[in-house]
């Protein structure tokens, strides 16, 4: 049972849109991710999607609005709602999803989430 320093974990990799698992909570993966540029439009039919910005700024584009998040701000995309994260400059996030959730909403295109 160790604590996790999120910034230290983020310092260990540089890839964008490639979540790293840093902890577990009731079957959910706690992850950090570096975002830059446009991710793909997707939704998660079975789960909400939790975002906390640690550094930088990210737009969570929804079909009818865009939610811009800065450090210390959270947003939960409800299950089934289409969204596209877009970061004009590199942003660092903590995200939470049930273990095994494909980050693109589609197992075919999802990245493998590595534990660090």
**Contact between 77 and 83 (Cβ < 8 Å):** yes
Q: Parallel, antiparallel, or unpaired for β 114-115 and 20-25?
A: parallel
Interacting span for a second copy (CB under 8 A) from 11-19, 33-41, 72-80, 107-115 = 72-80
Contacts of a second copy in 16-45 (CB under 8 A): 22-26, 28, 30
Shortest Å, Cβ 56 to a second copy? 14
Instruction: Give CA–CA dist 40/105, Å, rounded.
Output: 10
- Number of chain positions touching a second copy (CB under 8 A): 36
Shortest Å, Cβ 38 to a second copy? 19
Longest Cα–Cα distance in the chain: 42
Determine if 11 is a binding residue for a second copy (CB under 8 A): no
């Amino acid at each position: 049972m160790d604590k996790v320093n999120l910034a230290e974990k983020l310092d260990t990799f540089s890839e964008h849109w490639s979540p790293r698992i840093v902890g577990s909570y009731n079957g959910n993966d706690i992850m950090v991710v570096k975002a830059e540029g446009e991710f793909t439009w997707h939704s998660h039919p079975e789960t909400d999607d939790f975002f906390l910005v640690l550094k930088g700024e990210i737009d969570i584009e929804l079909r009818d609005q865009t939610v811009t998040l800065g450090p210390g701000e959270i947003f939960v995309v409800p299950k089934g709602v289409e969204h596209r994260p877009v970061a004009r400059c590199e942003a660092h996030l903590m995200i939470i999803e049930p273990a095994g959730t494909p980050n693109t909403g589609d197992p075919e295109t999802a990245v493998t989430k590595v534990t660090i």
